[in-house]
Structure 1
Amino acid sequence: MFINKKIFKSFIFSFVSVFLITCFFPNNDISAGEKGGTLKYGVKSKIETYDAHGANAYGVMHYIPQHYSTLVTFNWDNFPELEGDVAESWNVSTDGLTYVFNIRKGIKFHDGTPLTAKDVKATYDRLYNPPEGVRSARKNLFSSIKSIETPDDFTVVFKLKSPDGALLTGFGSPWNSIYSAKDIAKGPRWHADNINGTGPFRFVEHVKGSKWVAKRYEDYHFDDNYLDETVGFAIKKIVNPMLGGQIMAEWRAAVPPVVKVLKEKMGDKVAFQTMPMLSLMMITLNAEFEHFKDKRVRHALTLCMDRHKGLPTLAKLTWTAPQPAAAVMPGSEFALPSNELEKLPGFGRDMAANRAKARALLKESGHQNLTFKYSNRAVAHPYEQIAIWLIDQWKKCGVSVEQISSPTPKWVKMRRSGTFDVTIDFVSGFLPDPTILLAKYTSKDRNPQNYSGYIDRKLDDLYEAQKKQPDPQKRKALIHEFIKHSTDLSWTLPLSFMNRTIALDKKVKGYKIAPSLVLNTDWRGVWIED
């Protein structure tokens, strides 16, 4: 098997070491779940599609996963250990080029259609080699796949072009909803507006701007879908819906001021779970914006930002982490040491020198009176707080910025179409493996999540090299080179990873927070205490 067990254990240990420092799980319940009840939760983001394959917004993942299954999933008591979902078992060849999955028998889609290997093949064909009209945001993740075979109705064989150490865990991504081949044949847009999965809860209705309703799927292939019903409500704030009993949870995050209010108002009726997140906030510059084609201008913008002083202040107001980061979680196995990070543009501690250099670069490039529009997402946390801080930082270097805030669907379309000067952006990983976290930075023609639009073959080559490299020290060197080159390019200006705290009504049992907004959101194992 290509995934060296020693390397993988080291990877898991470094991940757990970083995350357990601040993890807090007061609401865990190890007793068996009770059938019945309605889980009422809030979602602050609108969604623009039901198709998880092409989506990248967390709101999609707070509604959609409960309706679908994936090939494999994670053991939430021992993340990131894998366990089967649609796949009952699997094995990987010693050369790492063949993955064989044995599909569980007796699974049915919500419309009654039996699930077979053909549905898995059709799903992954759509993900790694999307036909015209289909957007796959996971295309880069599965770029090592050469072909998919189905020797019988319950066996799927993936053939690879080259070994890929992150592929097996990549199959556990919640974005990889298993679709029916019959539904896929209905056209590229069908899944954007329709739902038919094999997940624990079947879709009932979506009243846009109001609620999302699902009922327990009685023919589900596991017995841990305890809830009778789930209802997701569209909300703008957390406090009043929680205090009034409209919702029992909000899965994105409660910022420090909200946590304080809920503790004061709800007392022992509310519980909190806290964990650092695999989401890195960043600023993306449009490669087609004429002024940004000069790297001196891009360097000036990142040099203006006092990350070391500003991020700890932001962390008290919203859910950004207090320490600067570039691409990989600080303190994890593959992260740049802090002394090397501080040598990169924008990460040095001498702000007087940084800003003097920024002004000199702007003057030297002929852009000392630089102006541009900053396209923001019209969501309070952390977007408004980051925008206020950023605009103030750039102003200190003589840069004039106009902020434009848009609702999530409009903002998503704006990023994809490239109709912006500068925008807020993020890497939302579901695993700490660099293959997943670094995919965002590869060239636009290989990666639809590169909203800047640049092409850089050195980054592409480094990405592929680290993905194939089994030696951990050699891989680390490649990853460090990737981070340094990406940061020097400065098409994306990284800020920090996020800290996440969720608030739960004490009646909600069986849920465990995960290090991503998109993980563990199918409500399996969740139950309501009377």
Structure 2
Amino acid sequence: MRKLIAGLVMGTALATMPLAAQAETPKNVLVMANAIDDMITLDPAGMFEFSALEYEGNTYDRLITFDNDDVSKISGQAAESWDISEDGKTFTFHIRKGIKFASGNDLTAEDAAFSLQRVILIDGSPAFILGQFGLTPENVKEKIRVIDDYTFSMEVDQPYAPSFVLYCLTAGVGAVVDKKVVLENEVNGDLGAEWMKTNYAGSGPFKLNKWTPGETLSLTANEDYWDGAPAMKRVIIRNVKEAASQQLLLEKGDIDIARNLEADQIAAISGNDDLKVMPKGKGALWYLGLSQKNEYLSNPKVREALKYLVDYKGISETIMAGRAQTHQAFLPEGFLGAYNENPYSLDIEKAKALLAEAGLADGFSVTMDTRNTTAVMAMAQSIQATWSQAGINLEIIPGDNKQTLTKYRARQHDIYIGRWGPDYQDPHTNASTFAWNPDNSDDASAKPLAWRNSWNPGSMTEETDAAILERDNAKREAMYIELQKKVLADGPFVIMFQETEIASMRGNVNNFVLGPSFDTNYYRFVTKD
């Protein structure tokens, strides 16, 4: 067994084995290949990346969760139930008894309150999710208060639509950390932030074994998990970015699940009776972010022209075959208020006319930061080809996801091609990033996508704020549709596709869960025949 496990983490060494020596993963170990190069931290108060939040969803209990098949059904996880005051501003949570952290400590209201306070006090990338309720480092300990061992309250600054508040607590910031363990590892008042980057203090169905950045992430089962121990005693996730390598490893039995197969690989395995694929529509969007600091991209006519210079049909049917559908508004299908009209299509002549109106009939040069994976590079190259037909010289700058994200978050890009996933299932999650930017200065505290692209959306910020206070769902839906139309017409975004995720797996793997969000993909139910 020891030799077999070692072989599973040796990377491409196994790829040289002849087919007759097909490997087989252990019955109680789940081995996946996934592109996890975006992981920066394992701290729920700091993580804001797809891979990290999937890790968190499998290793921490959050206060609130929802039904993966019907996201309108909100339920408790660490919080068994809750009450809302008559004025709509105080939420009182009742913590489920009997939950234990990996340390053996009981999970109590003290831990839950501390976890939320800690998000605000550390003020990392995801802090804005709670900060939008008027919580600040100065008032958070007053607004989030422990009532008794299993009860705490959170006071918000306005009577928001209740589902908005609750959905925010289903996000990564709703994860409950072990206060005692975290503070035992505190250094110079950092609330354990440095230690938590690479360590674990949770109560979920799996716990961290080891993370080697850029290589592997391994988890072990929590045998005492309050909602039942997982069948898989260990999960090994290998960072394999190349789709062809993932395909080979899957076919040979070296891995159980491949998470990033491209259209060609999925077609290639379709006739293999030992393999199967599982698609799931997701809320993630593929888009281009256009920096308004760039003299060309800040011209409205140029922005409009670029929206006519993407081969939406060609990319969705070839490069993204089966894994994306054209969708050009900022709310994905399935969300309240989703706008499903797609007004833009590839039209070179129309784009040329718009560029001429902008005084750029001869085109211009611009750069695009691009994650160095097969699909993203192929999309970028398709865009490069169609833009060249209108005289635009697009230079592609490839890098790993950590590099491109860091540059993007610092507003140092011209164009960024990226994938955006909702942080929670309320429409405000995307409205507040694509249509809201209260402070466009470089040192702003709130840094949504509008800010990253140096765009001031004007009155849309106030309209976005008003929508979260509207309790009439029909009126609220109409407000979000209007916001999407405005961003479509004038925003610095070329929104292209809504994602369909496909997990490709060995035929003996059962009950792997792909959820509607990037952090609701669950390993705990997996079994093997």
TM-score range, shorter chain: 0.7 to 0.9
Tell me the distance in 2 between the aligned counterparts of 1:141 and 1:480.
25
- Name the SS for the 2:83 alignment partner: strand
Partner AA of 1:448 in structure 2 = K
2:263 corresponds to 1:256: yes
Instruction: State the partner residue of 2:23.
Output: none
Tell me the distance in 2 between the aligned counterparts of 1:315 and 1:328.
23
Instruction: State the partner residue of 2:13.
Output: none
Tell me the distance in 2 between the aligned counterparts of 1:287 and 1:350.
23
- Name the SS for the 1:279 alignment partner: strand
1:308-350 CA-partner distances (Å, limit 9, x unpaired) = x4344346547221x3321123586523363xx52xxxx2x58
1:7-64 CA-partner distances (Å, limit 9, x unpaired) = xxxxxxxxxxxxxxxxxxxxxxxxxxxx971111112221222124333322213433
Instruction: State the partner residue of 2:331.
Output: 328
1:422-470 CA-partner distances (Å, limit 9, x unpaired) = 1112320255531122222221646434221333342221111111111
- Name the SS for the 1:518 alignment partner: coil
Tell me the distance in 1 between the aligned counterparts of 2:368 and 2:55.
29
Shift in alpha-carbon separation, 1:331–1:175, aligned structure 2, 3 A: closer
- Name the SS for the 2:459 alignment partner: helix
Give 1:110 shift: 1.8
Instruction: State the partner residue of 1:136.
Output: 125
- Name the SS for the 2:516 alignment partner: coil
1:363-417 CA-partner distances (Å, limit 9, x unpaired) = 2xx5743111111011112x12210121122112211111110012211211112
2:28 corresponds to 1:59: no
- Correspondence 1:57-456 to 2 at 5 A: 57-76=49-68, 78-127=70-119, 129-131=120-122, 134-140=123-129, 143-144=132-133, 147-162=143-158, 163-164=160-161, 165-174=163-172, 176-182=174-180, 185=183, 186=186, 187=190, 188-236=193-241, 237=243, 238-251=246-259, 253-264=260-271, 266-267=272-273, 269-307=274-312, 309-314=313-318, 317=321, 319-321=323-325, 323-330=326-333, 334-336=337-339, 338=341, 342=343, 347=344, 351=347, 354-363=350-359, 368-381=362-375, 383-429=376-422, 432-441=425-434, 442-443=436-437, 445=444, 447-450=446-449, 451-456=452-457
- Name the SS for the 2:128 alignment partner: coil
Give 1:474 shift: 1.7
Instruction: State the partner residue of 1:461.
Output: 462
Tell me the distance in 1 between the aligned counterparts of 2:150 and 2:67.
23
8 Å contact 2:206–2:220 — kept in the other structure?
yes
- Correspondence 1:19-38 to 2 at 5 A: 37-38=28-29
Give 1:136 shift: 3.1
8 Å contact 1:285–1:421 — kept in the other structure?
yes
Tell me the distance in 2 between the aligned counterparts of 1:154 and 1:62.
27
Tell me the distance in 2 between the aligned counterparts of 1:216 and 1:448.
36
Tell me the distance in 2 between the aligned counterparts of 1:142 and 1:314.
41
8 Å contact 2:303–2:492 — kept in the other structure?
yes
Partner AA of 2:276 in structure 1 = A
Instruction: State the partner residue of 1:16.
Output: none
Question: Which runs of 5 or more structure 2 residues have no equivalent in the other structure?
Answer: 1-25, 136-142
Which structure's relative contact order is higher, taking Cα pairs within 8 Å and 6+ residues apart?
Answer: 1
Tell me the distance in 1 between the aligned counterparts of 2:27 and 2:131.
39
Tell me the distance in 2 between the aligned counterparts of 1:314 and 1:464.
39
Shift in alpha-carbon separation, 1:80–1:190, aligned structure 2, 3 A: farther
Shift in alpha-carbon separation, 1:515–1:91, aligned structure 2, 3 A: same
Give 1:151 shift: 0.8
Tell me the distance in 2 between the aligned counterparts of 1:356 and 1:209.
42
Shift in alpha-carbon separation, 1:388–1:317, aligned structure 2, 3 A: farther
Q: TM-score by structure 2 length? A: 0.83
- Name the SS for the 2:174 alignment partner: coil
2:512 corresponds to 1:511: yes
Give 1:123 shift: 1.7
Instruction: Decide which moves more: 472-481 or 425-434.
Output: 425-434
Instruction: State the partner residue of 1:524.
Output: 524
Shift in alpha-carbon separation, 1:318–1:358, aligned structure 2, 3 A: farther
8 Å contact 2:57–2:520 — kept in the other structure?
no
- What CA RMSD, in Å, does the superposition of the two structures yield over aligned residues? 2.6
Tell me the distance in 1 between the aligned counterparts of 2:71 and 2:235.
25
- Name the SS for the 2:45 alignment partner: helix
1:54-96 CA-partner distances (Å, limit 9, x unpaired) = 3332221343332211112233354442332211222333543
Instruction: State the partner residue of 1:490.
Output: 491
Q: How many residues align?
A: 476
Tell me the distance in 2 between the aligned counterparts of 1:210 and 1:494.
31
8 Å contact 1:56–1:137 — kept in the other structure?
yes
Shift in alpha-carbon separation, 1:174–1:525, aligned structure 2, 3 A: farther
8 Å contact 1:510–1:526 — kept in the other structure?
yes
1:465-494 CA-partner distances (Å, limit 9, x unpaired) = 111111223212211221122223321221
Tell me the distance in 1 between the aligned counterparts of 2:174 and 2:424.
14
Tell me the distance in 2 between the aligned counterparts of 1:262 and 1:297.
42
2:34 corresponds to 1:43: yes
Shift in alpha-carbon separation, 1:105–1:336, aligned structure 2, 3 A: closer
Tell me the distance in 2 between the aligned counterparts of 1:367 and 1:93.
60
Shift in alpha-carbon separation, 1:324–1:89, aligned structure 2, 3 A: closer
Partner AA of 1:167 in structure 2 = V
Shift in alpha-carbon separation, 1:415–1:183, aligned structure 2, 3 A: farther
Tell me the distance in 1 between the aligned counterparts of 2:391 and 2:446.
34
Shift in alpha-carbon separation, 1:80–1:528, aligned structure 2, 3 A: farther
- Name the SS for the 2:289 alignment partner: strand
Shift in alpha-carbon separation, 1:184–1:228, aligned structure 2, 3 A: closer
Tell me the distance in 1 between the aligned counterparts of 2:287 and 2:501.
17
